[in-house]
Every structure is written in C-alpha cells, then in structure tokens.
Amino acid sequence: MLTRMGLFLLCIALGAIIPFLTVTAQSDISQKAHDLHFSSIIVDTHDDTTQRLLDPKFDFGIRHNDGSIDIPRMREGNLSAIFFSIWISGTITGPEAVKRAMDQIDVVRELPVRYPKDIALARTADDVRRIHADGKIAALMGVEGGHMIDNDLGVLRDFARLGVRYMTLTHMLDTDWADSSTGKSTHNGLTDFGKQLVHEMNRMGIMVDISHVSDKTFYDALAISEAPMIASHSSCRAICDAPRNMTDDMIKALAAKGGVVQINYHVGFLSQEFRNADKANPDMGKAMQEEIKKRCGENEGCQLTEGDKLTREYVAQGKLPRVEWTRIIEHIDHAVKLAGADHVGLGSDFDGANMPYGMEDASRLPQITNALLAKGYSAGDIQKILGGNTLRVMEQVEATSKRMGGQP
Ligand SMILES: [Zn+2]
C-alpha cells in the first residue's frame, strides 16, 4: 500500500519518467513498421537547414542537440532525400536576393564535397533512387520565394542549371507577379509575367510549388501548368484554418492534375487550438520575436531553431497549447480521404518552424509509418506517401521538360 509520502515520491518519479517515455517512443514501433520504413525511400520536400549550413562552424555530420536535421538523425529516421530550402525574406529583392540565393545554393552544393560518404546531389527521381541504393542521402534544392529571381527568367534558368528542382512562387509577401496567401492581393493572382514564368518552369523541369501562394494564384497556376504541381509544405485548412493551408477544393484540384500536397508539421498549421491561442495574444508573439532577436541577432539559422525552442518553453509554462505529433497523421489522413493516397507526401518544414511533441527531429519519422500501418493503410500506399508520390511528380515534371525542349 502506498503511503502519502510514497505516492508523492512515485509522482515525482513518474514526472521524471513520462517525458523520457515520450522521447523514446521509437521503441513502440512494430517490427512490421520498422521493416517497411527502413526498406522505403523517404523524401522530405521542405527543410530550412540551409540557414544553419551558412555558418561554416556548423558540422552537418555530427548529432546536434538542437534543430531537427543532421546526418546522424537523418540516418536514424531513414530520411533518404531532402529538399534544402533556398530561402531569404521577401523584403530582400533585386540583385541582393539573387546573390543571397546563390550563396545558399553554393553551401548545399558543397555538402557532397564535405561529406562524400553520406551525401550526393540529386536532380532527378532516378538520381534519388540511385543515391539511395548506394547507401547515401540525396540532397535536392527548392527555392522558397519567386522574389529570388529578380524578375529575370535567365536567373530562373540558371537556378535550374545549378540543380534547383522546385520554386515556391511566393514567400510571405506578394512578388511583382504573384500574390501570397499572407500578402495584399496586389495582382489578383498571377500576372502575365507570372504565367510566362510558370511556362518556363515547366520547360526547365522546375516543379511549380504553390505553398505560400494565395488561393487565386494557386488556381491561376493550376490552370496553365503543363506539369503536375506540388504544395511542398502545406497542411489542410479544414482542420486548421491558416491561409497557408489548402482548402479541400484546392487539394482535390491539385490532385486531379496529378499533383501532391506534402504535409507540413508546423504546430500553427496542424492545430486550430494552437493557432487560436497564438492569434489571441499578439503581444506574446511580439515578446517571442524580441526574445529570439536577443538570443540570435541577425543569424537566421539560430532564429529558426531558437523559435522552436522558445515555443516549447511557452508550452511548458502553459502559455501555449501542447500539440502532439499525431496531428500530422490526421492531416495526412484527411488529404488521403479527399484526394487518394497517390497525392499526399511529407514536407516537414524542419529547422524552419515549430515542431509538435514527438516529432522533434528526423529520427522520429518511423512513427509515421507505424501510425499509418495501425490505421490500416497498405504498405504500398504508405511507401507512396513517404516518398513515392514526390518521385512520381518529379518524373512527370522531367518528362514535361523534355517534351518542351528544356533539358539544360
Ligand atoms: Zn515556408
């Protein structure tokens, strides 16, 4: 029988053990899920780790206690192919934007030089499969925000020649030719130049990424793109009403033209409760921004990882609701029910957003396979969601490019 003191001590002990159990949830993964996961090619279409790579002192080859992505943790989670986001704020435009994008492309392209046993650059779906068969991780690139081409189709073509395989038409601000979901509806969608640009992306084999764009820009791009499009890191608006998420109609329309929505793990896109709490207290958001600036100055990589850390501190203090990783499964399942298992993938936003509990880093990915199996998904469907669908779209985009005479 427990004495009152015994009960008290047990509670303290459980308090110490419970977080540990959350951290070691991997042990709950069934053998079947483990085998399926580690025999699959896992593709993540959006990671902001590039910001950390810009720091020459950052060693991608060792396990870090912060952030979500490095070679050891990718190996643990069998993350086989990763799209490094080439990103700068939409407030930076003109030649400066091109220069900064080039700097980021350079650090990604140097990865195989620094880590030749682990990383190889991929341009095509076949490259990804070959690199995976060689036991390495495939590194790909996506430009996050059309402002980085400085309104110049030549720059777009140069990006393609350097290996960029998707471009998000906008980031959080409207560009000179497309509206963002968080912009001011400057153009009512895509301008004529924007349409010309989508055509050129099709010709150059760059996937048209509609994450971040306004609904009107999405429909305008969908109407003219000759290849299937992707939403590299978006979730479902029916579950969490963020303008960055996709409505049911958008998901169905994207899928009807062969595209894929890659589900974003950011808590503010997964959970309505989190979004409401965040929106209800703008002063808290401002205080967080100030604290992050205090910790990091202008270092973007630091700001992104500290943002994730600070959000956890606020959750621990009860100021923001706790969001579990299983919400990712709800969004995947919602999109699959709408569009079918051929049109859903993974686009974590690791190292660029605030991750839910239990999905702190790439080592946690086997849980997704485990949860989808437990939900009754077939092994074939799970492999498509983990990466097969993204590879299929890449092949279709490559075929379109060839047909349009655009292979660099
Ligand atoms: Zn983004």
pTM, two decimals, is: 0.92
Q: What does the alpha-carbon distance between residue 95 and residue 243 come to, in Å, rounded to a whole number?
A: 30
Q: What does the alpha-carbon distance between residue 264 and residue 81 come to, in Å, rounded to a whole number?
A: 16
Res. 49 pLDDT band, cuts 50 70 90: very high
Ligand 1 centroid–CA 81 distance in Å is 18
Q: What does the alpha-carbon distance between residue 208 and residue 382 come to, in Å, rounded to a whole number?
A: 24
Ligand 1 centroid–CA 266 distance in Å is 10
Token duo for residue 285: 């958001």
Question: Do 74 and 82 touch, CB atoms closer than 8 A?
Answer: yes
Q: Which helix (DSSP H) or strand (DSSP E) does residue 274 occupy?
A: helix 272-280
Please determine, for residue 10, whether its predicted confidence score (pLDDT) is greater than 50: no
CB atoms within 10 A of CB 237: 19
- Tell me the average pLDDT across 10-19: 44
Ligand 1 centroid–CA 381 distance in Å is 26
Res. 408 pLDDT band, cuts 50 70 90: low
Amino acid found at 147: H
Ligand 1 centroid–CA 175 distance in Å is 15
Res. 17 pLDDT band, cuts 50 70 90: very low
Query: In a 3-state reduction of DSSP, which class is residue 42?
Result: strand
Ligand 1 centroid–CA 47 distance in Å is 9
Res. 406 pLDDT band, cuts 50 70 90: confident
Residue 47: closest CA among 151, 139, 126, 113: 139
- Tell me the average pLDDT across 233-241: 98
* 113 Cβ neighbours under 8 A, 6+ residues apart: none
Please, which contacts does 395-398 make with residues 24 or more away whose CB atoms are closer than 8 Å? 395/124, 395/125, 396/227, 396/228, 396/258, 397/202, 397/205, 397/206, 397/207, 397/227, 397/228, 398/124, 398/125, 398/205
Please determine, for residue 257, whether its predicted confidence score (pLDDT) is greater than 50: yes
Ligand 1 centroid–CA 238 distance in Å is 19
Res. 175 pLDDT band, cuts 50 70 90: very high
Ligand 1 centroid–CA 307 distance in Å is 14
Mode of pairing for the β-strands spanning 79-86 and 137-144? parallel
Q: DSSP states of 176-195 as a string?
A: SSB-BTTS--SSSSB-HHHH
Question: Do 140 and 167 touch, CB atoms closer than 8 A?
Answer: no
Token duo for residue 59: 């060693």
Res. 1 pLDDT band, cuts 50 70 90: very low
Q: Please tell me what DSSP assigns to residue 343.
A: G
Mode of pairing for the β-strands spanning 344-346 and 230-231? unpaired
In the chain, what is the straight-line distance between the N-terminal and C-terminal CA atoms, in Å? 76
Rounded percentage of the chain residues whose pLDDT exceeds 90:
91
Ligand 1 centroid–CA 346 distance in Å is 14
List C-alpha distances in Å: 22 to 25, 30, 101, 250, 360. Answer: 5, 16, 38, 35, 11
Give residue-wise pLDDT tens across range 77-132: 999 999 999 999 999 999 999 999 999 999 999 999 999 999 999 999 999 999 99
Alpha helices by DSSP H, listed for 134-257, are: 153-161, 192-204, 215-224, 248-256
Ligand 1 centroid–CA 264 distance in Å is 9
Ligand 1 centroid–CA 168 distance in Å is 9
CB atoms within 10 A of CB 209: 32
Give residue-wise pLDDT tens across range 285-304: 999 999 999 999 989 889 98
Ligand 1 centroid–CA 122 distance in Å is 22
Give residue-wise pLDDT tens across range 375-399: 999 999 999 999 999 999 999 999 9
Res. 318 pLDDT band, cuts 50 70 90: very high
Q: Please tell me what DSSP assigns to residue 125.
A: H
Give residue-wise pLDDT tens across range 183-202: 999 999 999 999 999 999 99
Question: Do 156 and 197 touch, CB atoms closer than 8 A?
Answer: yes
Residue 8's pLDDT is 46
Residue 332's pLDDT is 98
